[in-house]
A and B are shown apart, each in its own frame.
Chain A
Amino acid sequence: MLDNIKDFASDFFVTGDPLIYGADVAIVLTMIAVVTALTYFKKWKWLWQDWITSVDHKKIGIMYVIASLLMLFRGGMDALLMRTQLAVPNMEFLSPEHYNAIFTTHGVIMILFMAMPLMFGLFNLVIPLQIGARDVAYPFLNSLSFWLFFFGAMLFNVSFVIGGSPDAGWLSYPPLSELSHSPGVGQDFYIWGIQISGIGSLMTGINFIVTILKMRAPGMKLMKMPMFTWSVLSSCLTIILAFPILTVTLALLFIDRYLGAHFFTLDSGGNPMMYINLIWMWGHPEVYIVVLPAFGIFSEIAATFSKKRLFGYKSMVFALMSISLFSFFTWAHHFFTMGSGADVNAFFAITTMLIAIPTGVKVFNWLFTMFRGKLSFPTPMMWMLGFIPCFVVGGMTGVLLSVAPADFQFHNSYFLIAHFHQVLIGGVAFGYFAGLYYWWPKVFGFKLNEKIGKWAFWLWNIGFYVCFMPQYFLGLMGMTRRVSSYGWDKGWYELNLTSTIGGFLMGIGFLFQVWQILHSIKFMEKDTTGDPWGGRTLEWSIPSPAPMYNFATVPRVSEKDAWWEEKQRIAQGLAPTPKPQLEPIHMPKNSGIPFIMSACFFVAGFGFVFDWLWMAIPGLVGVAACMLYHSFNYNTDYYIPVDEIKRTEAAAGRAV
């Protein structure tokens, strides 16, 4: 009996690596600390009532941001482990198997469990406030999306200590990801972790499309929407077209692995090329899904800190929409070297280059937003200014990669690695950081320390160039991606060491950001105005943090930059737009169902990973039960009485 348990445990838990034992200890200690703290401070009820069951978009947004920063920490640790392994030739810090697992989880986590939730967090924190709405269109669904993402991410991360991590690359090309070459459970963790969080992503896409189309304040025509709202709309449209492809692709891979089908196997008529096409039909739009909202953020920041209207609004909208459309016609540029022939390669080369046109136009419009402006440089603007040179250089190397016959020399090399990190860090990460710094006072009601923030900015920026510029040259020296070590004879040593130093500089930049947040909480500099930056859009017209119903009365909008124009009118001595009478506000009730249902999904996923039907089936039954329960629950809403609204507004120092 004891031996059986021992055997099981040695298969079930990942063993044999001191790094992982260290992580085990850290995870257990953290969990004990969290549970103890919650119990000691009697915070369990608070956690459940105020956060876990909350359907308030602002709280869901905060939870997304916290989760994504934790994932950034994990993905970043993966990155630093890789850079350490590559710092000197013939390093024996990580074994090839371990290295393969680490670059796989680094990619998956950074894209799907860091960038996506940070983006969804910003959607949640900003969009309803920006369009003058009280919540998203489907608050219950919103909570469900978050918890599906959360449990999907947990399921994926569990593979670190239980069963073993996936190690077939972040897109898991078959046949490497098939049972024949990856018999372990890591690949199943990959499939189920992504599938569960993917359902959440798809629902968020739907939710925000409906929110933006149906819940704008009266008078806010589509062409009067703030640019961030436009960018979210274009990103969500891309999500709802792209994510079903991912779901189907991974479902087919699961059927291959679980039921022995042959969609992507080598034998019995399967075709791995089909998978590679399908996954990139999602994968390429995916990078635009994450970068489009960053474009929106930069548009808001450029206008705000130039104290000037956004230049070329119509061009910007057209550019966003054409990028999201074109993103679906470029996928084959990820495998020009697959022998598709000159016709196919030429077609996809041209569609890829075409995307450079609207993207370039956006850069010019940002520049001319600043032109004849009155520029100030607090942290959000610093990230914006760090972004422009970084992104145009990254974009240029992207155009070089799109030239199909030349790509034969760049493909799979560090040139490619440097390119996509430059656009993803320089574009997406810098963009979301800028957004976080920009909207932080609105969300939490206090400002972040500017001085530490600037340290963080310079560390990230300099670290970035020191890390990734050498990688372009490594690519030209023939260093290919995913190699776990190299010999002294290659001549890649100096540049790799430089790159590692840059990686650690960015790591220190991250620590500065954590310090900045902690420092700012301790020495809180409250935002009493609700409009610390001199903002232009509606979210700055209400107190910080926003009251739970957001707007005491729904604002009327008659032009772009509604709040800025209102402030201009008041400054000229004109009467502010009259506000309607206060009325009771209709609000959704909190619900524990999203959490429970997502936990059931986790149980089902875990069961499928280990092929334990005794666990998977009850999990699925739980999911169905939650759906049934919610379908027959009619007690889902309530009204906030006028008195309470008055009290809340008065407490925030607002006349009603």
Chain B
Amino acid sequence: MLSMAPSGIMLTGRRCRVMARSKKMGEMEMVKGLRRLATVLSLTAMAVLMTGCSDKLVVLNPKGEIGKQQLDLIVISSLLCLVVLVPVLVLTFYIVWRYRHKPGQSAKSAKYDPTWEHSTKLEAIWWGIPIVIIAILAVVTVKYSYKLEPSKPLEHEAKPIVIQVTSLDWKWLFQYPEQGIASVNYLQFPDNVPIEFRLTSDAPMNSFWIPQLGGQIYTMSGMEMKLNLIADEPGSYMGMGANFSGKDFGKMNFTAKATSQEEFDDWVKQVKGSSPALTKEGYEQLALPGVSEVETFSSIPEGLFEQIVHKYGEHQHGSGSSEHQHGSNTEHAASGTSGSMDGMTAEEMEAMNHEGHANHE
């Protein structure tokens, strides 16, 4: 079944070539050709759908609330687009067929009106319909933009679990500050509990993506991003670094495993009991360019994540060794985009910012 797709397409392709070989490639042939193209297309689509159905199309098969809402949005916007797309395709085939020039039978053929070039009524229709559709889509988009803003905490009775994500050259480091453990290229968390990812990078920008739970977010050095996701059921979900970040970025895959709370607790216990500790030096080693297998660590250095986030801030105004920085990352946080820095409010940040400038002067 799986290998049907390419061979099916080759067959239809061959038929088209046979068609093209025939002596008279007149207008009739051309329209026939167009119809065959349509057949090839629908066969391709069907072959694709049959081979890759449901479970492989991860984006269309979400297992978390955010991913489900994003799928809703994909479906809504696709339907709205189809309202225009289908008539246009039908109209194209119809017009090409109806008004093709047939030498010899021009008397009873379709109307020919070479100077017809304007119709206010018609043009109003095709300015109007897209405007209405785009207006509807815009309203939906704006609504969902706020609803699905990735830094917004999920409404859920359970307290969220915090996971600090760092993209490195070319591996993922996951730290569990509440549990005091860490892992590399492997994520585990309880299902039905909101997860608050805090993300940064200690390498060129990457993007953290677990398609079945929801959309991706960039990981960038010198700033902390937030992404709130939840898994609705236990399972192993594919995760990856979606943004090109150099040589081996394609090997930054990881498994994100959602389990029951008990299993998760057992896993934490097991990691604490049997894995080595992650030291500062160990982190320096880990951060060197290279690929990595799955690893786990029983403890993490105090404040490592914050140090990574603030690593580049310390030079910015030359104004001391404060852990909270000024400059680009401060501006970013203060504009309320990626969440606050360690729970500070925007006002606090701003106050500090002024202080920093004062010191500097």
**Quick check: A308 and B113 within 8 Å, CB to CB?**
yes
**Quick check: B96 and A337 within 8 Å, CB to CB?**
no
Complex Cα distance, B118 from A313, in Å, reads: 8
Q: Contacts A266-B222, A385-B96, A495-B48 given: A181-B150 contact, CB under 8 Å?
A: no
**Quick check: A403 and B141 within 8 Å, CB to CB?**
yes
- B13 — which chain A residues lie within 8 A by C-beta? 462, 466, 505
**Closest CB of chain A to B77's CB: distance in Å?**
5
In the complex, number of A-B residue pairs with CB atoms less than 8 Å apart = 326
Report if A311 contacts B (CB, 8 A).
Answer: yes
Report which residue of A175, A335, A339, A376 has the largest number of chain B beta carbons within 10 angstroms of its beta carbon: A339
Complex Cα distance, B223 from A169, in Å, reads: 23
Q: Give the contacts of B40-97 with A (CB-CB under 8 A).
A: 40-41, 44-45, 48, 51-52, 56-60, 67, 69-71, 73-74, 77-78, 81-82, 84-85, 88-89, 91-92, 95-96
**Closest CB of chain A to B178's CB: distance in Å?**
23
**Closest CB of chain A to B140's CB: distance in Å?**
8
- B2 — which chain A residues lie within 8 A by C-beta? 494
**Quick check: A372 and B113 within 8 Å, CB to CB?**
yes
Complex Cα distance, B138 from A272, in Å, reads: 30
Which residue of chain B is the closest to A312 with respect to CB atoms? B123
**Quick check: B126 and A364 within 8 Å, CB to CB?**
yes
**Quick check: B250 and A483 within 8 Å, CB to CB?**
yes
- B240 — which chain A residues lie within 8 A by C-beta? 478, 480
Q: Which one, B84, B204, B222, contacts A181 given CB within 8 A?
A: B204
Q: Give the contacts of A466-493 with B (CB-CB under 8 A).
A: 466, 469-470, 473, 475-478, 480-486, 490-491
What count of chain B residues pass the 8 Å CB interface test? 116
Q: Which one, B114, B238, B243, contacts A478 given CB within 8 A?
A: B238
**Closest CB of chain B to A66's CB: distance in Å?**
28
Q: Which one, A313, A342, A412, A494, contacts B216 given CB within 8 A?
A: A412
**Closest CB of chain B to A588's CB: distance in Å?**
38
**Quick check: A400 and B81 within 8 Å, CB to CB?**
yes
Which residue of chain B is the closest to A479 with respect to CB atoms? B240
Complex Cα distance, B33 from A454, in Å, reads: 11
Of A190-198, A351-359, A620-628, which stretch is located at the interface? A351-359
- B315 — which chain A residues lie within 8 A by C-beta? 267-269
**Quick check: A469 and B114 within 8 Å, CB to CB?**
no
Complex Cα distance, B118 from A309, in Å, reads: 9
**Quick check: A367 and B95 within 8 Å, CB to CB?**
yes
**Quick check: A480 and B100 within 8 Å, CB to CB?**
no
**Quick check: A370 and B95 within 8 Å, CB to CB?**
yes
- A215 — which chain B residues lie within 8 A by C-beta? none
Which residue of chain A is the closest to B250 with respect to CB atoms? A483
Of B158-166, B264-272, B334-342, B348-356, which stretch is located at the interface? B334-342
**Closest CB of chain B to A109's CB: distance in Å?**
18
**Closest CB of chain B to A516's CB: distance in Å?**
13
- B114 — which chain A residues lie within 8 A by C-beta? 307-309, 373-374
Q: Which one, B27, B89, B217, contacts A389 given CB within 8 A?
A: B89
Report if B110 contacts A (CB, 8 A).
Answer: yes
Report if B221 contacts A (CB, 8 A).
Answer: yes
Complex Cα distance, B339 from A340, in Å, reads: 11
**Quick check: A476 and B59 within 8 Å, CB to CB?**
yes
Binary contact readout A354-393 vs B (1 if CB under 8 angstroms, 0 otherwise): 1011001101110110111111110000100100110011
Of B179-187, B205-213, B276-284, B294-302, which stretch is located at the interface? B205-213
**Quick check: B205 and A272 within 8 Å, CB to CB?**
yes
- B217 — which chain A residues lie within 8 A by C-beta? 337, 339, 408
Q: Which one, B6, B119, B336, contacts A501 given CB within 8 A?
A: B6
**Quick check: B9 and A501 within 8 Å, CB to CB?**
yes
Report if A458 contacts B (CB, 8 A).
Answer: yes
Q: Which one, B40, B116, B122, B337, contacts A340 given CB within 8 A?
A: B337
Report if B292 contacts A (CB, 8 A).
Answer: no
- A363 — which chain B residues lie within 8 A by C-beta? 88
Complex Cα distance, B81 from A396, in Å, reads: 6
Report if A542 contacts B (CB, 8 A).
Answer: no
**Quick check: B337 and A339 within 8 Å, CB to CB?**
yes
Q: Which one, B40, B122, B137, contacts A353 given CB within 8 A?
A: B137
Q: Which one, A308, A375, A389, A405, contacts B145 given CB within 8 A?
A: A405
Q: Which one, B117, B145, B238, contacts A313 given CB within 8 A?
A: B117
**Quick check: A476 and B215 within 8 Å, CB to CB?**
no
- A451 — which chain B residues lie within 8 A by C-beta? 25
Complex Cα distance, B336 from A459, in Å, reads: 52
**Quick check: B81 and A465 within 8 Å, CB to CB?**
no
Q: Contacts A176-B246, A478-B238, A480-B240 given: A406-B70 contact, CB under 8 Å?
A: yes
- B223 — which chain A residues lie within 8 A by C-beta? 339
Report if B107 contacts A (CB, 8 A).
Answer: no
Binary contact readout A277-303 vs B (1 if CB under 8 angstroms, 0 otherwise): 000000000000000000000000000
A-B contact pairs, 6 of them (CB 8 A): A173-B204, A271-B328, A308-B117, A365-B123, A409-B59, A478-B209
Known pairs A360-B130, A382-B30 / 15 extra A-B pairs, C-beta < 8 Å: A309-B117, A339-B217, A339-B226, A363-B88, A370-B99, A372-B99, A372-B111, A375-B27, A392-B84, A399-B81, A409-B67, A450-B25, A461-B37, A477-B59, A495-B52
Taking Cβ atoms with an 8 Å cutoff, the residues of B that contact A are 2-3, 5-6, 9-10, 13, 16-17, 20, 25, 27, 30, 33-34, 37, 40-41, 44-45, 48, 51-52, 56-60, 67, 69-71, 73-74, 77-78, 81-82, 84-85, 88-89, 91-92, 95-96, 99-101, 110-119, 122-123, 126-127, 130-131, 134, 137-138, 140-142, 144-151, 204-205, 207, 209, 211, 214-218, 220-223, 225-226, 238, 240-250, 312, 315-316, 327-328, 335-338
